[in-house]
Amino acid sequence: MSLAELICPAGTPAALRTAVDAGADAVYCGFQDATNARNFPGLNFTPEELEASVAHAHAKATKVLLALNTYPPAGKVDLWRQAADTGARLGVDAFIVADMGVADYIARTHPDKRLHLSVQAAASSPEAIRYYCENFGVRRVVLPRILTIPEIRQIRKEIPCEIETFIFGNHGLMVEGRCSLTNYLTGQSTNMDGVCSPASDVEYLRHEDGSMSSQLAGFTIDRFSPDEKAGYPTICKGRYTAPHRSEGYYAFEEPISLNLSRLLPELIDAGVHAFKIEGRQRSKSYVRGVVSAFRQAVDDIRAGREARIADLVALTEGQKQTQGAFETRKWR
Amino acid sequence: MAVKDMMKLTLGPIAYHWAADTRRDFYARIADEAPVDEVYLGEVICSKRAPFHEPDLPGTIERLQRAGKTVVLSSLAEVMLKRERRATEDLMSMEWPEIEINNAAGLYARGNRPHRIGPFMNAYNEATIAWMARQGATHVCLPTEMPAPAIAVAARAAGELGIGIEVQVFGRAPLAVSARCYHARAHGRTKDNCRFVCEDDADGMPLFTRNEQPILRVNGIQTQSESYVDLLPETGQLAADGVTHLRLMPQDVDMVGVASAFRKVLNEEQAPDEAETSLREICRGRPFSNGFYYGEAGYRRIAMATPA
């Protein structure tokens, strides 16, 4: 059986301590700039905060993974290199990378550090994963959330590195690292700036009939009737109309959260080494609740017991959950 | 303007599911009439579509080459299923014509034999471009969302490495890909039983906001911009910055006319604003954008600053 490590989000030093104390095997975090894919105001770490956080985590035998998982635009590569150098100096346990230039730099400059391939690299086949393993010494791949469990099992047989999969949190629909929707509407790029549907561009408009529009950069992403709860205007979770769909419909996906708590034994059996919980932008109480619940579930499975799955629905977006692609090809 | 004379005009791969006879007619006319230097062929978006037009590929290649065009075969952007892995491997084993790779699975199969890097490969910077060149890349098409200053740095790096650098200057911007087919979803189907509804939308299926503003286009698993990228007024700057190839993406408009408009500007036979006027007529009032180039929201149309 694989170790089934629990990889937990740390958007702030406080969230990091919470995740460590709740039983994370590893936490992942980023600096306060474009070098990571959650470059949101009020999130992330200064080098000083990261240094203290690494000490706290290591004292409890928890690993710290540094996300450098965006794509530097030409002319700005040094920011990513300096972030890697700083992370190495502060003793992080691994780097999570997507860009080949960044991967190449770390492989040459910090050859003793583990490299994890970010979901942002969109490596969804054994050949793509082997490319990164053979060229940059990647030790673990974070798989895109688009594969079924039989597909994951097959990939595991054909690659020389560990597999990490998302098990809980935001259910990204677009292939990560290949999405410019936010840049198209707001001028801030997910790949280059680490920004997705930024809060600074969000507005809610109340209409005379009591309905509410959620807008991003002036575009109506959804409209809610008075009895509906207005959701956050993420472009790929909005309702639109089309020639065959005169009523607004979720053209891409409903606002729904991934929850694979019931599939953990199957995922372990398929050869998944590490389970990732999404949510660096979420609160400490979210981190505490989710990490504790999954800690218990994973410990149950490791001990050969039936996993007790605490009810995690209250913590999910829109109070709805899915097993997404992991469950069935019909999802596609 | 020697720099502009050296610039090549290319026609990107058809992103949509055009019927086989439509494609045949399209490429026959491109071969006979379009002033483009290079043509990319092949299915990039959906592996289910490939069997419909692959039988015509050898004839199309031959026809275009006879007309003096360089032909390049583009690989799938998303490789996940067995048939996609096999298709990618088969393409990568070809010695001729040239190959454009759009997924790391293709890079793995190709090894260090010569190849081009497609716009889905995320070659955003000089370090990545240098890495790719060391692995055999002879040419890189930059991601469509890259802003001008980054394009200039990337083009300079490519120039020093002696490889080509390409920028999309016309057509809907590729904004996202997914494992899910949004065309099938709109019709209450799934990808496995899609019955190729995407064939009905030769220029993509429009999505509108709930206050009736056109916003995006669906093309199977791909999401595109509602506006057409148009960098015709910027071709001079692109040339000065060292970009070697300008890519026109096929849309459901007169592409010979589109290519001619760009060619006339490159040849300095027509002023950019005149060519722009005829481009607008050809595109029948569809919105144009250049926001990405200027580091603004992609849908925006920014007026070029007049040189002092």
Output the pLDDT for position A20.
98
In this prediction, residues B70-79 reach a mean pLDDT of 98
Q: Kindly state the average pLDDT of the residues B97-116.
A: 98
Amino acid identity, position A34: A
The verdict on ipTM greater than 0.85 is yes
| Closest-CA residue to B248 (of B231, B236, B233) | B231
Mean pLDDT of A228-240: 94
In a domain, B31, yes or no: yes
- Residue with token string 């699975």: B105
Q: Out of A252-256, A264-268, B280-284, B285-289, which region has the weakest mean confidence (pLDDT)?
A: A252-256
> Considering the domain boundaries, does residue B146 fall inside one?
yes
DSSP A45: B
Structure tokens at A61: 């035998």
Q: Tell me the two tokens of residue B259.
A: 């290519």
- Contact residues for B47 (Cβ-Cβ < 8 A; gap 6+): B76, B81, B83, B84, B87
Position with higher pLDDT, B138 vs B6: B138
Domains in chain A and their CATH numbers?
Answer: 5-171+256-331 (3.20.20.60), 186-250 (no CATH)
- Mean residue pLDDT of chain A comes to 93
pLDDT band at B308 (very low <50, low <70, confident <90, very high): very low
Which amino acid, A322? T
Segments forming the whole domain that contains residue B11: 2-172+228-275
Q: Is B92 on the interface with A (CB under 8 A)?
A: no
- pLDDT tens sequence across B244-291: 999 999 999 999 999 999 999 999 999 999 999 999 999 998 999 999
Interface test with A, best of B93, B131, B187 (most A CBs within 10 A): B131
Pairing mode, strands B222-230 and B164-177? antiparallel
Q: For position B87, which CATH number holds?
A: 3.20.20.70
Instruction: Say yes or no to pLDDT of A256 above 90.
Output: no
B109-137: pLDDT as tens digits: 999 999 999 999 999 999 999 999 999 99
Nearby residues of A274 by Cβ (< 8 Å), 6 or more positions away: A3, A4, A5, A6, A7, A25, A26, A140, A162, A163, A164, A165
Spatial separation of the C-alpha atoms in residues A209 and B254, rounded to whole Å: 45
- Closest chain A residue to B101 measured between Cα atoms? A128
H-type helices in chain A, by residue range? Answer: 13-21, 47-59, 77-89, 100-109, 126-136, 149-158, 181-186, 190-193, 264-270, 284-302, 324-327
Residue indicated by tokens 């990337």:
B154
Please name the member of A126, A175, A330 whose beta carbon is closest to the beta carbon of B177: A175
The structure tokens listed for B107 are: 């890079």
Q: Quote the number of domains for chain B.
A: 1
Q: Which of residues 134-153 of B touch A (CB under 8 A)?
A: 135, 143-147, 149-153
Q: How confident is the model at residue A173 (pLDDT cuts 50, 70, 90)?
A: confident
Confidence at residue B1, expressed as pLDDT on a 0 to 100 scale: 46
Q: Where are the beta strands (DSSP E) in B127-236?
A: 137-141, 164-177, 205-208, 214-219, 222-230
| B2 has a pLDDT exceeding 90 | no
Average pLDDT rounded to a whole number, residues B14-22: 97
Residues 41-80 in B contacting A (C-alpha not used; CB under 8 Å):
77-80
Domain membership flag for residue B190: no
Distance of alpha carbon B99 from alpha carbon B113, whole angstroms: 10
- Give the DSSP letter of residue B241: T
**Least confident residue range of A300-304, B32-36, B123-127, B291-295:** A300-304
